[in-house]
Amino acid sequence: MKNLYFLFLLFLVSNLNSQDLELFEKDVFVFENDTLNYRILKPLDYDSSKKYPLHLVLHGSGERGNDNVSQLIHGGNLFLKKENREEYKSWVIFPQCSKNDRWPSISKDQWDKNFENKTIKPNKSLGLVLKLMDKFIEKKQIDKQRIYVSGLSMGGMGTFEMLYRRPDMFAAATPICGNGITQLAKSYATKVPVWIFHGSDDKVVSPKHSLNMAKAIIEAGGSPKMTLYENVRHGSWNNAFEEKDFLKWIHSKSKNNNL
């Protein structure tokens, strides 16, 4: 079964335009003895004297590994579309979680329990993403007022975790078919606009988790946007990435106008 899924991933990757795919440059972030593979897309018509938004995208569990390719399967094409590259000139980073790791540090049975954020360390892969982001946003070519994060499935869970670990970093977030820690929503509810997506028939990650996160954000004073897709199962990222206003909504957000 695993071999069939691997072949399916290879099929999806092979159907991406290989020339366009190479626009996402391969890179590796090293911290002490740990490494994080990632792909990075430069803004179209890049000018080193200008500042650009930065968009972080976290993949799902099926794209884990060390090939530094699979993480582009879902969402890579969205940022390579000619009209999107022309309209939304930005840096785009797709890190890859290692095979035996996961973005969220909290296991499923802990998500609804009370605990203190400070006592929970991030998993290795997400910890490296945090360090990469902390370093990368210091570049003079980054607009610190317009840093965004998106994620699907396991990456949707990682998106919620990125928000509570860096509530002052992001200007907008789009978690797709994910889950989060309702008790920690208060740390970012009034700071970061969030657009949540989920399929109403999702049997892998129940839509009740996204509904609970939206409720927690509202109760903490935030005003989340939520889209629930009728008769859609776990692959709701396909629907989300096809939303006409997906990137438009994201790029309309800035920390300057989120108050």
Q: What is the pLDDT, as a whole number, of residue 231?
A: 97
Q: Can you tell me the mean pLDDT for 111-131?
A: 77
Mean pLDDT, to the nearest integer, of 35-49? 97
Looking at the chain, the whole-number percentage of residues with pLDDT higher than 90 is 83
CB atoms within 10 A of CB 13: 17
Band (pLDDT 50/70/90 cuts) for residue 121 is confident
pLDDT digits over 124-165, tens only?
A: 999 999 999 999 999 999 999 999 999 999 999 999 999 999
pLDDT over threshold 70, residue 111: no
- Which pLDDT value is given to residue 119? 60
Q: CATH assignment of 2-251?
A: 3.40.50.1820
Q: What is the pLDDT of residue 115?
A: 54
Beta-strand pair 195-199/142-152: unpaired
Confidence (pLDDT) at 112: 55
Which residues lie across from 197 on neighbouring strands? Answer: 176, 227
pLDDT (tens digit per residue) in 223-247: 999 999 999 999 999 999 999 999 9
Residue 1's pLDDT is what? 52
Question: What is the distance between the alpha carbons of residues 207 and 103, in angstroms, rounded to a whole number?
Answer: 19
Q: What is the pLDDT of residue 18?
A: 52
Q: Say what the pTM is.
A: 0.90
Going by C-beta distance under 8 Å and a sequence separation of 6 or more, which residues neighbour residue 59? Answer: 70, 71, 73, 74, 75, 94, 96, 97, 151, 152, 154, 155
116 against 54, higher pLDDT? 54
Would you state the pLDDT for residue 169?
98
Tell me, what's the pLDDT at 106?
A: 72
- Rounded to an integer, the average pLDDT of 70-90 is 96
CA separation for the pair 49, 65 (Å, rounded): 35
Mean pLDDT of 75-102: 96
Separation CA 93–CA 28 (nearest Å): 12
Q: What is the mean pLDDT of the chain?
A: 90
**pLDDT band at 193; cut points 50, 70, 90:** very high
CA geometry: angle at 146 spanning 47 and 78, to 5°?
Answer: 75
Q: Which pLDDT score is estimated for 21?
A: 80
pLDDT of residue 5: 46
Confidence bin at 6 (pLDDT 50/70/90) = very low
pLDDT computed for residue 108 by the predictor: 57
